[in-house]
Amino acid sequence: MQLLTITHHTEYHYAHPVAFGEHRVMLRPRDGHDLRMLEGSLVITPQPASLRWIHDVFGNSVAIATFDQRATRLSFESTAMVEHHPSEEFALTPADRAFFYPFFYEEDEYPDLEPFIRPQYGDPDGELSVWARGFLDAGASTPTFDMLSRMTHGIRDGFRYRRRHAQGTQHPLDTLQTGCGTCRDFALLMIEALRRLGIAARFVSGYLFVHDRGDGGHVGGGSTHAWVQVYLPSAGWIEFDPTNGIIGSRDLIRVAVARDPSQAIPLHGSYVGGADEFLRMDVRIKVASADDVAHNRPVAVPA
């Protein structure tokens, strides 16, 4: 069990006072049997005219802020303390229906899983389907865990991480053809590949906890992150992180799950003013264990 404190600070800067439209904030960790929210706060400056919390269609917590004043800066600071019980790599036995691929979902589960099985992005020449089938054993049933593990590590080892300043997530075919992308791009590539194999997969947005190696060469910290959940009969939703090769929820703190990355944006909104009014956005993320906080070690890293 880990006690973690997560601080997420985002600040927008403008050349002159601007008016703000509605902002949607999706930063609160998502409770579950392996992750429990102990306390949290959200501080917004300038103070919003209204702030209300809702659960979206996937059950994620979303804060919706509206404003009635102009300012040259708009900041959001979310702080959360969570109790994290990371799950290790799952294990299927030959008696489990999903031990070998292909497998089938129960009739009563399929209607709820169908949106996560149906591909959302085009693959006109079948490139993505061919790439996905490349992780299957030729001429025989494939152990499901082996296939999922190979795909997770295949993306980590075969693709290059590249930070992009453009908004949004790139098309899976762009990621496949260029061989590079962000964590959100890698997650979407894996999701769409699995959907073409008839496997239910969904997008996860959250935080990555980076440990102190203990050799003096690296200080623990954290960052925003994205990965994949796969639904397997009898095992449920299992985490796979193709950016780091993590299987299970070790070091992964869930905030939101969604069918598509566009439905799990940590923070987005609008302002009224010219494009040249916007100067910059500053983001600082800190994910610290109870020991880090107790010893006041510096753990902040860029988002």
Give the per-residue pLDDT at 212: 57
Task: Give the chain's domains with CATH numbers.
Answer: 2-85+265-302 (2.60.40.2250), 100-263 (3.10.620.30)
Give the per-residue pLDDT at 188: 98
**How many residues are given for the chain?**
303
Number of other residues whose CB lies within 10 A of the CB of residue 277: 15
Q: Which residues of the chain have pLDDT under 50?
A: 213-220, 294-303
Give the per-residue pLDDT at 301: 34
> What does the alpha-carbon distance between residue 265 and residue 267 come to, in Å, rounded to a whole number?
6
The pLDDT tens digits for 242-266 are 999 999 988 999 999 999 999 999 9
> What does the alpha-carbon distance between residue 281 and residue 277 come to, in Å, rounded to a whole number?
12
Give the per-residue pLDDT at 220: 47
Q: For residue 116, give both structure tokens.
A: 């996560």
Please choose, from the candidates 120, 130, 90, the residue with its C-alpha nearest in 3D space to the C-alpha of residue 201. 120
State the pTM of this model: 0.91
Please choose, from the candidates 76, 81, 69, 72, the residue with its C-alpha nearest in 3D space to the C-alpha of residue 26. 76
> What does the alpha-carbon distance between residue 293 and residue 132 come to, in Å, rounded to a whole number?
43
